[in-house]
Amino acid sequence: MARTRIIPVLLLNKGGLYKTIKFKNPAYIGDPINAVKIFNEKEADELILLDYTASVEKREPDFVKIREIAGEAFMPMAYGGGIRNYDTAKKVFDAGYEKVILNSILFEDLKLVDKIASVYGSQAVVGCIDFKKPLLSKNKAFAYSGTKSSGSSPVEWAKQLQQAGVGEIMVNSIELDGTWGGYAFDVIKEVSANVNVPLIACGGAGSLDDFQKAVDNGASAVAAGSMFVFQKKGMGVLINFPTGKVITK
């Protein structure tokens, strides 16, 4: 049986770490360097760093800060936020990251996937689908931190991302973000049934059972934020990782 990757997700903004609930009400949780050092000790499989305001604010990544963070990490790192062209992606790789996570820019330039993959390989490009259900509608993929709808369903957009050449797809529920209520298992199952690339589940994890259920529904890896930075729902900050726990597929 293959061991499933368990991936902490850290949200970066102006040099600090934050955690949101449903992509709103960001709460400061501390210094990213300290968090990475703890995840090193806990032997996290991988780590995702997202500058969640960069695309909305139309700015590039903070290369000085993300290089500093990557320099402390012993595990593979993926970065997303503010990547709008190949040159910016190259700077992210040069800063020490193994993967780039693309979201908003792909609604404007799907060809960027091939430009990056042709140099770094498709495994280095992750297409992220943030999704929610607008009033009187079905789930739609959203860009710019959940503020702009693509008009496409998660499955439709996942198929386009796969065709564009991404090596992985990350599905992230906006409505379940930070709620500890469990992943959107129905969406995970539907997307995984329609694409062949590995799928990362994100948004709403509250227990190890949620990890296993996501895998049972087709996820290849599981990602979480609140579970790894809070002691319990609604309580204080405590960076943690389920050491020794194995999720299999």
User: Which residues have a catalytic role annotated?
Assistant: 130
Nearest one of 116, 108, 111 to 79, comparing CA atoms: 116
Tokens of 38: 């703890």
Distances (CA, A) of 159 to 28, 152, 164, 208, 221: 36, 10, 9, 29, 19
Residue type, 248: T
**Phi and psi at residue 129, in whole multiples of 5°?**
-115, 105
> Please, are residues 205 and 229 in contact by the beta-carbon 8 Å criterion?
no
Alpha-carbon distance of 48 to 101, in angstroms, equals 9
Interatomic CA distance for residues 165 and 113, integer angstroms: 6
